[in-house]
A and B are shown apart, each in its own frame.
Chain A
Amino acid sequence: DTGVSQDPRHKITKRGQNVTFRCDPISEHNRLYWYRQTLGQGPEFLTYFQNEAQLEKSRLLSDRFSAERPKGSFSTLEIQRTEQGDSAMYLCASSFMGNEQYFGPGTRLTVT
């Protein structure tokens, strides 16, 4: 499968714990995007990378959130000290430059 993959698909954690999600983009894509989707809403932009450089971050990305793409390939999104409001679907997408974005299956986070 050469599509975008995300791991894990589901994560249940207790409030206050740290979680990390991984996204593997399509190999020839240089841009990687993270979005968050809450129930009944459309996805919202969090951040994006071009190669290893993080070029833009949304104000939704509080200090508890950090994203990396160290070698310009896979990316990780870490949430520290999780809160119940962090419960959402975290979607990753990739593209070559500004072309069509391809989405991964998402990681559903539940904070109890």
Chain B
Amino acid sequence: KNEVEQSPQNLTAQEGEFITINCSYSVGISALHWLQQHPGGGIVSLFMLSSGKKKHGRLIATINIQEKHSSLHITASHPRDSAVYICAVASGTYKYIFGTGTRLKVLA
């Protein structure tokens, strides 16, 4: 079992839909990082959080430390949101342990 699990692995949504991506982890962490990766490989930081909830535009991230679970929500999804969303946890020496990613495709 991977230390960081994401679900779903693949997600297709219609434009405007509310989207939720989940991340569960089994190790002690100091922080959790949500990342976005577009085709071509570049990784963009979305949120880094260690408790509670953060919001930026149409994106919301929550974390429950006791349950070792985080969610990334996208409201009013748009085709430009199509990307791979990766959950990474910072543990111990602060190196990241990554999930395998959720491939999101938003159809117009």
User: Which positions in A face B, CB cutoff 8 Å?
Assistant: 31, 33, 35, 37, 40-45, 48, 55-56, 89, 91, 93, 95, 97-98, 100-103, 105-106, 108
B40 contacts across to A, CB distance below 8 A: 105
Shortest distance in angstroms between A78's beta carbon and chain B's nearest beta carbon? 20
Give 3 closest A-B pairs by Cβ, nearest first.
A42-B98, A98-B94, A103-B43
Decide if B41 touches A108 in the complex (CB within 8 Å). Answer: yes
Decide if A101 touches B100 in the complex (CB within 8 Å). Answer: no
Within 8 A of A (CB), among B68-108: 86, 88, 90, 93-101
A-B pair number, CB within 8 angstroms: 60
User: Majority SS of interface residues in chain B?
Assistant: strand
For B, the interface residue count at a CB cutoff of 8 angstroms equals: 24
User: Majority SS of interface residues in chain A?
Assistant: strand
Q: If the complex has contacts A105-B42, A106-B41, are A42 and B48 also in contact, measured as CB distance less than 8 A?
A: no
Task: Known pairs A41-B101, A42-B98, A106-B42; list 13 more (Cβ under 8 Å).
Answer: A42-B86, A42-B88, A43-B96, A45-B95, A45-B96, A56-B93, A98-B94, A100-B45, A100-B48, A103-B42, A103-B43, A103-B44, A103-B45
Decide if B42 touches A48 in the complex (CB within 8 Å). Answer: no
User: Which positions in B face A, CB cutoff 8 Å?
Assistant: 4, 30-31, 33, 35, 40-45, 48, 86, 88, 90, 93-101
Q: If the complex has contacts A91-B43, A98-B90, A105-B41, are A42 and B95 also in contact, measured as CB distance less than 8 A?
A: no
